[in-house]
Structures are given as C-alpha cells and as structure tokens.
Amino acid sequence: MDPYAALRYKEFNIFLIVRFAMVFAWSMQFIVIEWQVYSLTKDPLSLGIIGLMEVIPAVGMALFAGHIVDQREKRNLLVLCISGFSVISLGLFALSWPGLEDTWAPKTILYSIYALVFLGGFVRSFLGPTIFSLIALIVPKKIYPNAATWSSSTWQMASVLGPALAGFSIGWIGVHWSMCVIFGFSLMALFFLFRIPQKPILNPKIGEPVFQSLKDGLKFVFNSKAIFGALTLDMIAVLFGGAVALLPVYAQDILHVGSEGFGILRAAPAVGASITMLGSTRFPLHRNAGKKLLWAVFAFGICIIVFGLSELFWLSVLALFISGAVDGVSMIIRQTILQIKTPDHMRGRVASVNSIFVGSSNELGAFESGLAAKLMGTVTAVVFGGTMTLLTVGATAVISPTFRRLDLQNDIDEHEKD
C-alpha cells in the first residue's frame, strides 16, 4: 500500500493540522497544570486528583456522548468541542495570573483549577468520538489503516512537542504565559476546522431511543473479541503503568532536573511512539497483530519498572523513550482494529467505549499512581504498576488464545476490494 495514501486527500491534511493543534494544546495544558498544582501542594496525591477530576465526567458522559455523535453532524460538533476547550484554557490563563496568589488562598486556586479540569472532562467525552467518526467521512474505507496510522502519528508528534514546550516554557515565560500559548493553539485549531465542510450523517437510525442506542453499541463491542481484547489489555496496562503522572515528583525530588528536565522526561515516551508510528507507515503491523500487541505491552511493563528504579536522568529518559516506542505499536494496532471492524453508523458509540477503556484509564492510572505513591512511596508505586502490567499480559496470553492468534490481513484485503 502507498504509505502516503491518506495524505493525498486535502481535507485529511487539514484534519491533521486541527488534530495536531488540539492535542498539542491539551497535552501542554495538562503538563502546565500538573506543574502548577504540585508547586502549590507538594503532594503527589494532588496530581492523581487532576486525573480523577477529568475522568469522572469523561466516563460518566462517554456513552451518551457516543450516542449524540452518531446522531449529529460531525464537523460542527467538533467546533463546539474545541470552543469549549478554548473557554476552559482562558479560565486557566486567568487562574495562573501571578498576582492572584496575593488575593486568593492557594486552596481556592487549587479547587478552581480542579473545577475547570472537571469541565474539560465533559468536553473530552465528545472530542474523541467526534474525531474518530470524522476521519471515516474524509477518506475512503480502503485507506482507513493508513489514515489511522497518520492520525495516530500526528497525535504522538503533538504529544512530543506539547509536553516538551510546556517544560521549557514554564522556565522561560512562566505558567501564566504558557497558558496563553495553549489558548492560541486552540484558536488555531478552530480556524483550520472551518476549512472542512460539513459532512453527511450516515446513521440510518436517527432519533433512535438513547438507551437502545447505548445497548447496541455496548453489545457490539463486547461481542467483538478483537476490539474487546485490545481495549481490555491496553486499559489495564495504562491503568497500572501510569508512571508519567508522577513525573513532577521525579523531576523535582528524585532526579533533581527542574522544569526543563521535566519537559524532556514528559516528552520522551511520545518521541519513541512517534518514531514507531512514522516507521509503521512503511512497515505495517497488521500481520500477527495479537502477538505483537502482547509483546509490546510486556515490554512497556519492563520499561516502567526500569524507570521506577532509576536514579540516573539518562537512564530514566531512555526507559521512557522505549516505553513510548512499544506503546506506539499498541496504539497503532488498536486503532487499526477499531477503524476496520467498526461500522460507520456505530463509530461514535464504539469510540466512546474506547475512551472509557483506554482514554480514561490514563486519568484513572494517574489517580492510582498518585494514591499508591501516597501509601507506599513513589518508587514502590511505579514498580508495582509495571509488575501488574506484566501479570496482565501473561494472563491475557494464557486465557485468550484467540486474541493471541489475531491477524488483520484478511480484513484489510476485504476493505481494499470495496
């Protein structure tokens, strides 16, 4: 297959710009918030609460958001999502004003940040399903795998640059003006999004009762062994391997590398994942996908353990880099499974279930890591998470031989015939 097939569609290139700007802004914002909150509290549990504040509305609204996405026009819905994010970014910009600490108590500022993060969870519950559904309306089915790879690569590239710039910008221009940069990128995403025309609604069941719609979506996911297996494996691995939530602790108190080192640590996994994803445009991963996914998650767990035990900055960066590279393999395989095996009229609901299993597990993983660090110490908590990831892979390999033998080549061949 042509490795640049999806890039030959103008609207898809515009879509990639929009996705890059949004992921860049969101990932940068999360890092700046983490730094500000830990600076205010010096409590690792407060970092976990950031994730919890986002995951509660994201999970609570996810299925209903998926139903709405399947019933509505996707471009305008994405406009609303990005507009909501922009308002939240503007609020965080105001809360980070240096003079505010002279008039507001630290707890008031902290709770206000949590409140805006909570509102951001509602936005995120719609954002993922809308983006996932919009891709399928921009490119033909036969190049879904290629489009999924480029979309994921763009996501990872933004995840590299967002955290890296966040770490450096905190040192260069401070938290307040870093928030202003984030707001600017959200406006850029809106500008380019309006260059994509509105798209048709492909759902034949417009007006379907919401609970019947949710039931059908859940039934489809749980009956698909490939989708359910991939989501479950990744969810548990991310839930227990969420060491990145504790990076402010490592940067400030263990490795002593400051905000610049924090930015490098935070960007290292995304750099590794980006290299994997760009390479996968020429070397697809769909053959023996099950075995490759199991090995990738196993390697991820090893890297998390090495990072947890390391007191050397270069070794910590290397461990995080490799963890990102193997996590990139996992992400590509999972996204390919979802794009190929999901019918057009169910994309919003399936993407919502994906956000519950995988996307929200990042925030739950952050809370788990923060709580574990509070109870057993930071290093022990990270090593525990990596160990649980290894046990999960072993259990999946033994319990599900069907998933172990998963191969996506036949599905791709059928789409190319369409």
363-403 pLDDT, tens digit each? 666 667 777 777 888 888 888 888 888 888 888 778 877 77
**Quick check: 23 and 344 in contact, CB under 8 A?**
no
**Quick check: 116 and 92 in contact, CB under 8 A?**
yes
**Quick check: 126 and 236 in contact, CB under 8 A?**
no
Question: What is the pTM for the complete model shown?
Answer: 0.73
**Quick check: 156 and 20 in contact, CB under 8 A?**
no
| Backbone conformation region of residue 313, classed left if phi is above 0, alpha if psi is from -120 to 50, else beta | alpha
Determine the residue type at 200.
P
Tokens of 391: 């046990």
Q: What is the pLDDT of residue 299?
A: 92
**Quick check: 86 and 186 in contact, CB under 8 A?**
yes
Q: How far apart are CA 268 and CA 252, in angstroms?
A: 17
Residue 87: φ, ψ to 5°: -65, -40
Q: Does residue 145 have a pLDDT over 70?
A: yes
Tokens of 294: 């199991």
Q: How far apart are CA 17 and CA 19, in angstroms?
A: 5
In 3D space, the residue among 118, 147, 108 whose CA is nearest the CA of residue 131 turns out to be 147
In the structure, what pLDDT confidence band is assigned to residue 359 with cuts at 50, 70 and 90? low
Q: Does residue 156 have a pLDDT over 70?
A: yes
Q: How far apart are CA 298 and CA 227, in angstroms?
A: 19
Q: What is the pLDDT of residue 363?
A: 62
What sign for the dihedral angle of Cα 19, 28, 241, 52?
negative
